């Protein structure tokens, strides 16, 4: 049996994919407080990246690390939703999956903080 959602092609597929992506962002924003906090932080940091960065490479690194945090948070939320869909029962593998996804978010935040701290240090401590 074929998947009825896999037969779409061309512009129809792109439009529907965009709709699903926007739905995902809305769900994350309204349902995940961590994502909402990171969005508001990104609203400040992304424009600041253009002010702080001295070259396109620095701007890309500063903005990119902020976007990586958002991406990893979305993946973390997706993993948590899939685990919860299977069962709310406490299980070692469920805990492991959620903890690993949470660790990925932590590492992305540390990367972002490190890049921003380095850029700030370089900018204001020549």
- pLDDT by residue for the chain (126 residues), tens digit each? 567 667 778 899 999 999 999 999 999 999 999 999 999 999 999 999 999 999 999 999 999 999 999 999 999 999 999 999 999 899 999 999 999 999 999 999 999 999 999 999 999 987
Distances in Å between the Cα of 97 and the Cα atoms of 20, 68, 69, 82 are: 24, 20, 18, 10
Q: Is the pTM of this model over 0.85?
A: yes
- Quote the CA–CA distance of 116 and 11 in Å, as a whole number: 39
Active site residue 38: no
Give the orientation angle of helix 33-52 with respect to helix 10-31, to 10 degrees. 110
Cα distance between residue 40 and residue 67, in whole Å: 12
What is the C-alpha separation between 89 and 66, in angstroms, rounded?
A: 34
Say which of 32, 38, 58, 73 is annotated catalytic.
73
């Amino acid at each position: 049996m074929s998947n009825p959602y896999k037969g779409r092609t061309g512009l129809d597929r792109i439009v529907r994919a965009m709709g699903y992506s926007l739905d995902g962002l809305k769900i994350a924003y309204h349902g995940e407080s961590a994502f909402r906090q990171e969005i508001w932080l990104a609203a400040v940091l992304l424009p600041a990246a253009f002010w702080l960065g001295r070259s396109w490479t620095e701007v890309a690194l500063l903005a990119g690390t902020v976007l990586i945090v958002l991406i990893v948070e979305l993946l973390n939320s997706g993993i948590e939703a899939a685990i919860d869909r299977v069962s709310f029962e406490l299980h070692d593998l469920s805990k492991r999956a959620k903890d690993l996804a949470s660790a990925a978010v932590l590492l992305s935040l540390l990367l972002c903080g490190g890049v921003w701290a380095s850029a700030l240090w370089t900018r204001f401590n020549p």
